[in-house]
Structure 1
Amino acid sequence: MLERLAKRKIQEWIKTGKDAFMLTGARQIGKTYLIRECLKESGFPYVEINFIEQPQLVDVFSKAKDAKELLMRLSLTANGKLKKGKTIIFLDEVQEFKDIVTRVKFLVEEGSFRYIMSGSLLGVELNDLRSAPVGYMEIYDMYPMGFKEFALAVGINKEIFEMLEEKFKNKVVVDEYVHSKLLEVFYLYLIVGGMPEAVDVYLRTNDLEKVAQVHEKIIRLYKQDFSKYEIRYKLKLREIYDAMPGQLDQKNKRFQLNSIGKGMSYDRVENDFLWLKDAGVVIPVYNIAEPKLPLVISENRNLFKLFFSDVGLLTSRYSNQVKLAILNQDKSINNGALFENVVAQELLLHGHKEYYFNSKKQGELDFVIELNGKVTPLEIKSGKDYKRHSALNNILQNQDYQIDEALIFSEGNVEIDGKRVYLPIYMIIFLEEARLENTVYKLDLSGLKNI
């Protein structure tokens, strides 16, 4: 089984979880397979119900009047395999039966079994779920495989990453042989990406043509989803998705609305972009007016970059000749869009709210995040001239922003130049936000109690 970040979370829930567990994410990222394999490894008895493979069960369960009757119907469906207090019930493709998410609350309260759920398009179908009182359910977002997961899958040893993380923390140069090999793996990741089926096909065949066929199949599935919603809600989902590669190839990479229609205003198509985001197939990176804490205050949702959920799906739109040139690290190819797409993925994977900054006077910063309580600009360079960054210099010199450190990710090795820290592009995986400690705060009102 491919090593996934979500695996540990699912295993923890299987061992100790009492509430229901919901795994969310885009189509084809391996949710069903991962849950099924974790349940098999756990040794707990389980039953699996899939509402796409068994559509008749939607009608069967929806007619249940209460939790007791629903449990009876579940038991009949499972052919008596349910063992009270032991069996875990896996409800898959729950977007086909949205009401089950509400009904599970009463099943959890009843207490006979535990429930784990998964499905696609949940961000669209259940877009009010996160704001609802769902204390009975833990929700975990899953994404395509990040670079570390991919590198482990192709054979890089875990100890290598432990060593690299120490280099990252201490800002120490990476051994040139290791550095060059990690870059090779990174360029392969640009082509294969992190969709599990594509990775699995590559591992079994090493055939990039077969990998491309997987990417095409996934994009067709996405567009089938688009078609359903375009008809129902008159959205421009395919037009936006098809325009993205060209938009990312532009110098500033900001999505231009005129690419999907002349005179198009953001108000007219806002729901289209939100649908794509909620479906997990794109990653929006919004503009901020200034790089000051808290960043969200100056967020401008009318201006944004739009990245693919997986870099392999972006590269699949390129010709075979360009893919081979990328794999061979041909310096004539501009990999800026691909590098930035990987960064957008990794930042999302590690829980960062990601922004970019653009000023006519000062220039543009590729990404801006809050890292360990400070504003941190990120510059992403794919070419040889990775030490040329006039916009970043302007921002660092601006006393109003008081930025202590900027990170520049490129093909180069680790190097420090004042406030500028140069890092290999593959070290983007180590941008973890530090966990808050000592968060317990007790209010002392002792001086007011006798007044």
Structure 2
Amino acid sequence: MTTMLHRRAYDRLLTWKHEEQGASAILLEGARRVGKSTLATQFGGNEYRSYILIDFSNVDEAVLDLFRTQRTDLDRFFSYLSLYFGVTLYRRESLIIFDEVQFFPQARAFIKHLVADGRYDYIETGSLVSIRQNVEDILIPSEEDSLELNPLDFEEFLWAMDQRPMADAIRESFESKHPLPEAIHRKAMDLFREYMLIGGMPKPVADYADDHDFAQADKEKRRILSLYRKDVARFAKGYETKVLSIFDGLPGQLSKHEKRFSLASIGKTARMRDYEDSFFWLSDARITNNCYNSTDPHVGLRLDEDHTTLKCYMADTGLLVSHAFPAARNRTGVNSVYRDILFGKLELNEGMLVENIVAQQLKASGHDLFFYSRRDQTNAANTMEIDFLIQAPYANANLRLRVAPIEVKSTGRYGTKSLEKFKNKFGARVGSQIVLHPKQMRIDGDRMYLPLYMAHCL
């Protein structure tokens, strides 16, 4: 039996359905194999009297002809669509899903007229919906809302693992600022380490929830990585070599102390202007999460982002684990490697995984990713590195937004000099300071020391 996953995005689709009442379509964007089609069909089956799924990655030419030849006669269009799929459509009680709509952009352009007609609701799913070949010669409908589907965050992973009471306890602890009992804290950290290795892609998570077999989850993750490589060759026409050089270099880049992506590792003459499209492609495919340097941090972090200085994280940390380690020869070997990592017996730069998983949690919570980095050889007080910057309400400023710097620590022994320098330099712009670490929660004035398993709460 395969575990059914509850996704937070399901509730957002419910809100869209009840609030919009057919006034807009919704585009589910996300990486391949992140569960877009499954979510859309579950939603259609549960919340509508009937639904039709049109998979544009594998659809009969006759269906495409309906979109080409019947656009001006919607009565006939819907009648033929209903007959072809053998599904009765009910006014305001049926859903039509345009799955993998990037393979037929004309259908996306048609959404404007379908929404105006008002008979049914529409969900589109897609990857790479923003790259040039998928938006050429079409008018993006203003009647299209967008919802990004990310890999499961830690809370969703706990739901999948039948650990909802633990998920609720973590959330309540964060909101009350009251630490969990030590035994519960240790269990939460153990579960978080499992999550860090498995990641949040639905199939590996469901497989692991069913049988706790690392080897099967790893097999599924490697299939996804192989699919991504094939997608690069298929869709990144003209710069596939550059995209693959970045993709293949990610584990090495993230294992460095300074995780900023160094193009010098690709080639001595490599320049950002030549690779910017490749970074965008990987980000648009939701394979990576790009994190940009905010050179003069304030609440409008995007106003001062430096596109030439970035950190490039894998969108899913479980995929990063499989990407970083060669495949073991057999199931026993795979499980042995994972358990050695889980229990700290295998020497590796765990900071690579911890920082990547925090980036993944922040992204899932709706934050754009920024960091702050400055080197000043003449004044050490100006040299600092802040892992992440987010906007957050600040209690001492009547809950107005301030910059909240975040430092990520993979071990229990660390310093916080950069946080102190950052506060001294930017003063009133800075609100709460956050340290994410493996230890218990502790509040010290404006500084919150939070367990790593609370990153999704920020």
The alignment's TM-score, normalised by the length of structure 2, stands at: 0.87
SS of the aligned residue for 2:88 comes to coil
Aligned to 1:245: 251
| Farther-moved stretch of structure 1 (391-400 vs 365-374) | 391-400
Aligned to 2:451, which of 397, 418, 424?
A: 424
Query: Which residues in structure 2 correspond to 1:40-59 (within 5 Å)?
Result: 40-56=45-61, 57-59=63-65
Count of aligned residue pairs for this structure pair: 428
CA distance in 1, matches of 2:121, 2:269: 52
How far apart are 1:72 and its partner, in Å?
A: 4.3
Aligned to 2:407, which of 371, 379, 404?
A: 379
Say if 1:235 and 1:272, in contact at 8 Å, map to a contact too: no
CA distance in 2, matches of 1:347, 1:128: 29
Say if 1:331 and 1:383, in contact at 8 Å, map to a contact too: no
Say if 2:51 and 2:87, in contact at 8 Å, map to a contact too: no
Task: Map Cα deviations across residues 37-57 of structure 1 (whole Å, 9 max, x no partner).
Answer: 122122521122212221412
Aligned to 1:364, which of 382, 385, 394?
A: 385
CA distance in 1, matches of 2:113, 2:445: 58
Aligned to 2:396: none
Aligned to 2:123: 116
| 1:262 pairs with 2:268 | yes
| 1:29 pairs with 2:34 | yes
For the aligned residue pairs, the C-alpha RMSD in angstroms reads: 2.3
SS of the aligned residue for 1:317 comes to helix
How far apart are 1:290 and its partner, in Å?
A: 2.9
SS of the aligned residue for 2:323 comes to coil
Say if 2:204 and 2:221, in contact at 8 Å, map to a contact too: yes
Aligned to 2:433: 406
Matched letter for residue 299 of structure 2: L
How far apart are 1:403 and its partner, in Å?
A: 2.5
**Structure 1 moving runs of 4+ over 6 Å:** none
Q: In structure 2, list runs of 5 or more residues that go unmatched.
A: 326-333, 376-381, 394-400
Say if 1:47 and 1:81, in contact at 8 Å, map to a contact too: no
CA distance in 2, matches of 1:262, 1:408: 36
CA distance in 1, matches of 2:41, 2:345: 41
SS of the aligned residue for 1:398 comes to helix
Matched letter for residue 209 of structure 2: L
How far apart are 1:73 and its partner, in Å?
A: 3.7
How far apart are 1:174 and its partner, in Å?
A: 1.6
| 1:205 pairs with 2:211 | yes
Aligned to 2:302: 296
Say if 1:309 and 1:345, in contact at 8 Å, map to a contact too: yes
Query: Which residues in structure 2 correspond to 1:51-450 (within 5 Å)?
Result: 51-56=56-61, 57-68=63-74, 69-79=76-86, 81-124=88-131, 134-158=141-165, 160-233=166-239, 236-319=242-325, 320=334, 323-330=338-345, 333-360=348-375, 361-372=382-393, 373-386=401-414, 388-398=415-425, 400=427, 402-431=429-458
SS of the aligned residue for 1:123 comes to coil
Q: 1:221 to 1:312 in 2, by over 3 A?
A: same
Q: 1:12 to 1:395 in 2, by over 3 A?
A: closer
Matched letter for residue 434 of structure 2: L
How far apart are 1:141 and its partner, in Å?
A: 0.9
Say if 2:174 and 2:457, in contact at 8 Å, map to a contact too: yes
Q: In structure 1, list runs of 5 or more residues that go unmatched.
A: 432-451
How far apart are 1:87 and its partner, in Å?
A: 2.4
| 1:39 pairs with 2:44 | yes
